[in-house]
Amino acid sequence: MEISVNLRQLEAFRATIRCGSITGAAKMMHISQPSVSRLIADLEDSAGFPLFVRVGRGLTPTVEGRHFYNGVEGMFVGIDRLQDLAKSIRTSQGGKISIGAIQSIATIELPKAISRLYNDNPDVEFVVQSRNTPAILDAIQMRQLDLGIVGREPDYSGVEVLFQTSVAYVCLIPEDHRLATEYGPVDLEELVMTETFVTFGASYPDSMMSIDPQLSEKLRARSRLSVANMPLAGALVREASVLAIADPFSAEQAVRMGGVVFRPIKQKLTYFVAVVAARREELSREALKFVDLFAQQLQSRVDKVEKLSGHAS
């Protein structure tokens, strides 16, 4: 059944949820209580299920109403972002740029890029969040974030890719390990015979493309340590004298914490990074400028890592 609703009905529904009563919603919307009641009733008729049950003098959303509210709230977040965009376009400068980034990028690479635009544009406001890739993609599709910096194998369905690149994983090594003073790529096929590795969820990321299944199983079989993120993996490399396979951005963070070094890997295991948005057309000029700055910076970093690893095309 096709649902026919209008924005005013959704506003009344949202206000009633937030206020917990028709009276509060009417005051928030500056309309009469009967008008709010009628808007809610029309919305329920169109939706085909009750949105509220009366509890005392107030209203409580039904299970269906709560599910419906999640979608409505996401829509209004998108409207709020469009209003911010309209303001940015009107003033030709300034505005807010909200960014969600994976942890490996959020600590070093992202602040570098932000600082360049931040210092030259005093009217631009940044809102930065560190999340995992699935959460970032969801937030982008809901228009809760302008830009997302994600790390997994393409494709990224439901969003527009503004920039993407890939880089080889590296091997994290304790600085007092015999391998730390040697140079050149390490061979995982050789190391797996003598060394112990940290794994992630007792496995290795699917985004490590082209890894031999037998090698992956050997690495897993020699692991007694499983972690959920790279900072913890880096700490265990330092403290437990084990090895880890890491993306170079996380590896740099671990090196800055001290006690570890990293070397390139003979086997090319690929780490993907992409900048995404809901639609390029919805971004402000400042946001697009940031994407260009960040893309140039990140690609320069990737080129250096690839040259070091001997994997440059």
pLDDT tens per residue across span 1-49: 455 678 889 899 989 998 888 988 899 888 889 899 999 999 998 888 9
End-to-end CA distance of the chain: give it in Å, rounded: 54
pLDDT tens per residue, range 83-114: 776 665 554 455 789 999 998 898 889 999 99
**Cα–Cα distance for residue pair 31/38, rounded to 1 Å:** 11
280, 254: one domain: no
What pLDDT, on the 0 to 100 scale, is given for residue 171?
Answer: 92
Check residue 85 and give its pLDDT: 63
Domain membership of residue 259 (yes or no) is: yes
CA distance linking residue 34 with residue 41, whole number of Å: 10
φ/ψ region of 201 (left if φ > 0, alpha if ψ in -120 to 50, else beta) reads left
Domain count, the chain: 3
- Percent of the chain beyond pLDDT 90? 31
| Per-residue pLDDT reduced to its tens digit, 173-217 | 999 999 998 888 999 999 989 998 888 765 555 445 567 888 888
* Same domain as 63, residue 145: no
Give the C-alpha separation, 254 to 227, whole Å: 15
- Edge-to-edge strand ranges of the sheet holding 197-200: 225-227, 197-200, 243-246, 170-174, 260-264
Domain that holds residue 203: 170-268
Same domain for 54 and 110? no
In a domain, 242, yes or no: yes
The CATH number linked to 236 is 3.40.190.10
Give 110's contacts (C-beta < 8 A, 6+ positions apart).
99, 101, 128, 149, 294
My answer on whether 174 and 229 are in the same domain is yes
Question: For the whole model, what pTM was predicted?
Answer: 0.64
CB-CB neighbours of 183 under 10 Å = 7
Same domain, 180 and 264: yes
In a domain, 310, yes or no: no
307 part of a folded domain? no
Residues 226 and 258 in one domain: yes
| Domain harbouring 11, CATH code | 1.10.10.10
Same domain, 210 and 260: yes
Residue 129's pLDDT is what? Answer: 92
- Nearest CA to 169 out of 196, 198, 194, 149 is that of 198
Lowest mean pLDDT among 61-70, 85-94, 172-181, 257-266: 85-94
Nearest to 242 by CA among 199, 293, 295: 199
Is residue 224 in some structural domain? yes
pLDDT category of residue 285 using cuts at 50, 70 and 90:
confident
Q: Domain for residue 145, yes or no?
A: yes
Whether 120 and 248 map to the same domain: the answer is: no
pLDDT score, position 174: 95
Q: How far is residue 181 from each of residues 6, 244, 265, 304, measured CA to CA in Å?
A: 68, 17, 15, 21
What pLDDT sits at residue 157? 79
Residues 97 and 49 in one domain: no
If asked whether residues 66 and 193 sit together in one domain, one would say: no
Residue 20 placed within a domain: yes
Write out the two tokens for 22: 């028709």
Residues 251 and 280 in one domain: no
Query: Are 195 and 225 found together in one domain?
Result: yes
Mean pLDDT along residues 121-126: 84
Give CA–CA dist 133/205, Å, rounded: 13
Q: In this predicted model, which residue has the larger pLDDT, 205 or 140?
A: 140
**In a domain? residue 313:** no
Residue 155, pLDDT above cutoff 90: no
